[in-house]
Amino acid sequence: MLKNLIAKIERQSNNKVTNIVSDNGTEFQNPFAERGNRTTTNKARCLLKDFGIDPSLWDKAANTAVYLENLRPSKNINFDTPLKKWFNREPSLKHLQPFGCLAISLKRKLNRTGNVKITHYVKFLPNEFPSLKPKSTSTNHKSFVLNPSTEQSLSNEEPIAAQITLPVHKGYSWVTEKESIPQNNIFGDVGNPEAVNGPNTQEWKEAIKSELKNMMNHHVWTPTISNQNVKPLSTTWVFKRKTDEDGNLSKVKARLCVRGLSQKEGINYTEVFSPTGRLSSLRLLLTLCHINHYPIEQIDVQCALLNSKPEEKLYIHKPLGYKYYPDKDVFLLKKSLYGLKQSPCFWHKVPKNTLVTIGLVPCFTDSCLDYSQNKEHPLWLFVHVDDLIFGGTWNKTFKIKIKTFFEMEDLGTVKYALGIRINQNKEYILLVQDRFIHQILTEFSINQVKPPMGPLPSNYKELKSPESNIKIPPPFSFRRSLGLLQYIFQCTRPDLSFTTSFLSQFLENPKDKHYKALIHTLKYLSGTQNFTFKLGSNLMSHSKTQIFGFTDSDLGGGTEKKSFSVSLIYFFGALGWRAHNQKVVALSSAEAKYNAPTKSMQDLAWTKQLIFELTNKEMSCTLHSDNKSAIAIASNPVYHHGT
């Protein structure tokens, strides 16, 4: 930059630069420079205000102010102009036009591509100013509030003369344009008559007002001028009722969401991946806290995504119901919004950076599980988007520290998280999803039925038969119902792992018999919805330093003649389980059961590493299999390459 500036100066002045004077970083002590900067900024503000120019063109106004200063005679150089002194010629004033006036440029039809181009062939209309609006006779349309640098606001009733007589040393640090609309009147028509104009109109309107106030407090957007080259994203309101662990209404939530489907990769977003905590990590945290008798608590981050900033320039249309800036239709996003593809990715980085300053570091094996670096005073934290579940010896101190960075809602002892009811006593931690299961059964009209003995019919292998089966209109979404079942089995119901994995093979083209099998599973779920999942120190375990794994397989139980494998990891309760097709075709049951431990050993190694990171204790692993042939193959030194 300095070399380019020196070359430009020498080229314009036809003289060589001999000395460069530096103020050694004390430019703020130079009264002449500071006075000049203030003069320039004041002129730029006046240009923007007087001609109604958008603040986004601040740099153009500042350049214009500097150019006009160089055209004015100066007493310091015998009333010559700086431009004349520099170029040794009288500057011309013929090219000057009023700032902000209308300019017209001819674009031939062949060149009308919609792109913004810079051209010198322009005709000015000096008497037309498109940015200026006719002055309104209303007294409460707009007001300019001068904010003193002492952070004391001026009263609206104070006479103008009183403002002028303020001492010079206080000055004003900035000028902001503020709408004279009270915050209780920021709500307008949101264009959703089904929700807002229904029987609960008032509570939804209050929720919208609360959400808009949150966005104003977080400075989510700033108004800007529309650009032909920028396509703003549209938004919509999403309404939700939030309940507690007993199913009682806790609050209603209105959330402004961007329609992320209209985003284009490489233009509106690049990186979108955001990790979420593994449920096996949550179960391990609960187990470790219960073994060590640590209290387990939960806090919720308010307006989580509004705390993160997008890396791309994103524009949105003016949200429905927002009454500020009535003359602006396009907003530039300064913070992330729900619905953006990259919002979870940006938010994930915010708490991670904050937790490091508090003294927590993420685990290498699960980046959503953090632990205290001080092993003598442990604290373990599970992060799932905006839900924080933690336990340790300094919970109160942690809550005080984290509340200095984010607005938090302290939920106290964890009772309900991620659709799971969590009950704690001295003996066990009980996990149950009875209310979540009841909602699913109600949605699919599976109520008051006689439950079967197992989750799949006894002839379930006939579901893989290749015979054609008439496809009838489905009574409900096969894919959605299986997705709900899969979440249940991953959380608290390992007895459904094989069932959901087996039925998932028919997602693409489910037939009538597959729907009947799914209904059979839902009926089984109706009779077992109160089943609880136990964790804790009172469960039988051979050793506090040993992890157990169990594995089995079914020859030909999967699709395409492949074997099906199931596995379970046990440490003071089941921590993880899976059911999946083997990737290879086994020729015998011994080979199938020999291949099954592969994934189980991976899960055992992962769990061992995670426990070591959290507790700094080395664990031993034992894998159990019920097939003597597979055990003999694994222990035979002849097959060394396989073990």
pLDDT tens, 478-530?
A: 888 888 888 888 888 888 888 888 888 887 778 778 888 888 888 888 888 88
Return the closest-CA partner of residue 305 out of 220, 241, 243, 235: 220
R_g over Cα of the chain = 34
For range 322-340, the mean pLDDT: 80
Instruction: Read off the pLDDT band of 334 (50, 70, 90).
Output: confident
**Does residue 157 carry a pLDDT above 50?**
no
Q: Is the pLDDT of residue 67 over 60?
A: yes
More confident residue, 113 or 522: 522
Residue 70 has pLDDT above 60, yes or no: yes
Percent of the chain with pLDDT over 90: 0
Q: What is the pLDDT of residues 532-548, one digit of tens each?
A: 888 876 555 545 667 88
Residue whose C-alpha is closest to residue 128's, from 98, 85, 89 = 98
CB proximity list for 223: less than 8 A, separation 6 or greater: 54, 325, 328, 330, 331, 332
User: Could you give the CA distance from residue 472 to residue 481 in angstroms, rounded to a whole number?
Assistant: 17
- pLDDT at 64 exceeding the cut of 60: yes
Eight-class DSSP state of 432: E
Least confident of 43-47, 300-304, 460-464, 520-524: 460-464
Mean pLDDT of 367-374: 85
| Range of weakest confidence among 102-111, 210-219, 313-322, 507-516 | 102-111
| Pair 529, 438: CB distance under 8 Å | yes
Quick one: average pLDDT of 171-188? 38
pLDDT at 583 over 70: no
Q: What is the 3-state secondary structure (H, E, C) of 411-431?
A: EEECCEECCEEEEECCCCEEE
Query: Backbone phi, then psi, for 382, in 5-degree steps?
Result: -110, 125
Window from 265-274, 401-410, 421-430, 521-530 with minimum mean pLDDT: 265-274
Q: How many helices (DSSP H) and strands (DSSP E) are in the chain?
A: 17, 23
Average pLDDT estimate for 117-136? 70
Q: How confident is the model at residue 229 (pLDDT cuts 50, 70, 90)?
A: confident
Q: Is 453 helix (H, G, I), strand (E, B) or coil?
A: coil
pLDDT above 70 as % of the chain: 76
DSSP structure string for 72-132: S-BGGGTTB-HHHHHHSSPPP-TT---TT-EEE----GGG--S-----S--EEETT--TT-
**Phi, psi dihedrals of residue 327, rounded to the nearest 5°:** -95, 5
pLDDT confidence of residue 8: 78
Largest CA distance in the chain: 106
Q: What is the pLDDT of residue 267?
A: 75
Name the range with the highest mean pLDDT among 106-115, 123-132, 146-155, 599-608: 599-608
DSSP SS3 for 291: helix
Domain boundaries, the chain: 27-125, 142-180, 193-413, 431-533, 540-642
Within 10 A of 207 (CB to CB), how many other CB atoms are there? 22
Span 283-308, pLDDT tens digits:
888 888 888 888 889 988 887 888 88
Q: What is the pLDDT of residue 139?
A: 37
Q: Which of 431, 409, 399, 382 is nearest to 275 (CA)?
A: 382
Beta partners for residue 103, in sequence order = 124
pLDDT score of 164: 32
Question: What per-residue confidence (pLDDT) applies to 410?
Answer: 84
Contact by Cβ (8 Å): 381, 369: yes
CB 526 within 8 Å of CB 449:
yes
Tokens of 367: 């980046």
110 pLDDT tier (thresholds 50, 70, 90) = low
Instruction: Please tell me what DSSP assigns to residue 376.
Output: T
Find where tokens 């919208």 sit: 208
**In whole angstroms, what separates CA 430 from the centre of its chain?**
31
pLDDT band at 233 (very low <50, low <70, confident <90, very high): confident
Q: DSSP assignment, residue 162?
A: H
User: Using an 8 Å Cβ cutoff, are 277 and 344 in contact?
Assistant: no
Q: Read off the pLDDT of each residue in 81-101 and give the average, rounded to a whole number.
A: 80
pTM above 0.85, yes or no: no
Are 568 and 574 in contact by the 8 Å Cβ rule? The answer is yes
Instruction: For residue 270, give the 3-state DSSP assignment.
Output: coil
**Options 3.30.420.10, 3.40.50.150, 3.40.50.880, 3.40.640.10; CATH of 540-642:** 3.30.420.10
Contact 258, 339 (CB under 8 A): yes
Those residues with Cβ within 8 angstroms of residue 438's Cβ, 6 or more apart along the chain or in another chain:
529
Q: Is the predicted pLDDT of residue 610 greater than 50, yes or no?
A: yes
Digit-coded pLDDT (tens) for 409-422: 888 888 888 888 88
Q: How far is CA 314 from the centre of its chain?
A: 15
Three-class DSSP category at 384: strand
Kindly state the DSSP code that residue 317 receives in the 8-state scheme. Answer: E
Highest averaged pLDDT of the listed ranges 71-75, 191-195, 555-559: 71-75
The DSSP secondary-structure symbol of 338 reads: B
The identity of residue 484, as a single letter, is L
Q: Name the nearest CA neighbour of 60 among 281, 51, 609, 574.
A: 51
Whether the CB-CB separation of 298 and 417 falls below 8 Å is answered with: yes
Q: What is the pLDDT of residue 562?
A: 53
Average of per-residue pLDDT values in the chain: 75
pLDDT category of residue 25 using cuts at 50, 70 and 90: low
The pLDDT, as a whole number, for residue 468 is 55
**DSSP sequence for 389-410:** EEEES-HHHHHHHHTTTS-EEE
Q: Residue holding tokens 């001080």?
A: 374
Looking at residues 239-266, what average pLDDT do you find? 78
Which tokens hold the place of 11?
Answer: 């080229």
Chain centroid to Cα 255, Å, comes to: 13
What's the rounded Cα separation, in Å, for the pair 187 and 386?
A: 27
Q: Let me know: does 392 contact 372? Beta carbons within 8 Å.
A: yes
- Which residue would you say has higher pLDDT here, 520 or 600? 520
